[in-house]
């Protein structure tokens, strides 16, 4: 094999970095104004179609919701289908692409059995970049972007970038610092203990659904 000078290796390595697939970022789908049931204020809820003061109070009282199925059982299942669909276009708890059941996937507005199958077909997802790439085989870019609002891939606590962590709904710069302060995490129980120093148990549970310890 022909040897390459040090400068050649530097150029080769730089080219490899440019040409290699980039690590996906922002593991919670980009939102265009979607509200999260565990975070929305009463004032925000009252701007949504069909949400009365009583429903808004009930949504807030039922927090935290562990997943969209829990929210649906508590509130959405009691609404007429058309009203529920319109509400879920604006208020939705993102689903875990790697673990959501078919029932939960079907709560995504506009979801059909074929697309639900495609969501499941490409598991496990290592990031949203793969989701975008695979689902783009079936729908156009605008629909991929719409669907992305409803999903997330759990963020690895020990290696996630700042951008990934900040994509978690409701994340703040201070909490970003605390997430990183206690690395490396050896188990999820340590995450609960350390983050529980700063927020209550309900908020720890809300944040935990978006992360994973590897």
**Alpha carbon distance 182, 197 (integer Å):** 12
| Separation CA 104–CA 92 (nearest Å) | 11
Say if CB 161 and CB 144 are below 8 A apart. Answer: no
> Distance between CA atoms of 207 and 202, rounded to whole angstroms?
9
Q: What is the pLDDT along the chain (214 residues), one digit of tens a residue?
A: 444 454 443 333 333 333 333 344 579 998 888 999 999 999 999 999 999 999 999 999 999 999 999 999 999 999 999 999 999 999 999 999 999 999 999 999 999 999 999 999 999 999 999 999 999 999 999 999 999 999 999 999 999 999 999 999 999 999 999 999 999 999 999 999 999 999 999 999 999 999 999 9
What are the helix (H) ranges across 37-172? Answer: 42-45, 53-61, 68-74, 81-88, 102-105, 113-121, 128-135, 141-148, 162-166
């Amino acid at each position: 094999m022909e040897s390459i000078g040090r400068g050649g290796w530097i150029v080769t390595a730089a080219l490899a970095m440019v040409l290699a697939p980039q690590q996906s970022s922002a593991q919670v789908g980009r939102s265009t104004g979607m509200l999260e049931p565990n975070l929305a204020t009463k004032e925000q809820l009252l701007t949504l179609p069909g949400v009365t003061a009583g429903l808004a109070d009930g949504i807030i009282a039922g927090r935290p919701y562990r997943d969209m199925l829990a929210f649906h059982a508590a509130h959405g299942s009691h609404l007429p289908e058309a009203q529920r669909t319109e509400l879920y276009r604006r208020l939705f708890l993102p689903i875990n692409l790697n673990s959501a059941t078919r029932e939960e996937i079907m709560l995504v507005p506009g979801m059909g059995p074929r697309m639900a199958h495609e969501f499941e077909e490409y598991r496990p997802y290592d990031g949203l970049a793969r989701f975008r790439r695979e689902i783009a085989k079936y729908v156009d870019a605008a629909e991929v972007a719409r669907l992305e609002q409803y999903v997330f891939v759990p963020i690895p606590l020990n290696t996630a970038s700042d951008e990934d962590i900040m994509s978690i709904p409701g994340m703040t710069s201070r909490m970003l610092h605390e997430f990183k302060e206690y690395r490396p995490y050896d188990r999820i129980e340590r995450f609960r203990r350390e983050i529980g120093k700063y927020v209550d148990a309900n908020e720890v549970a809300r944040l935990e659904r978006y992360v994973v310890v590897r």
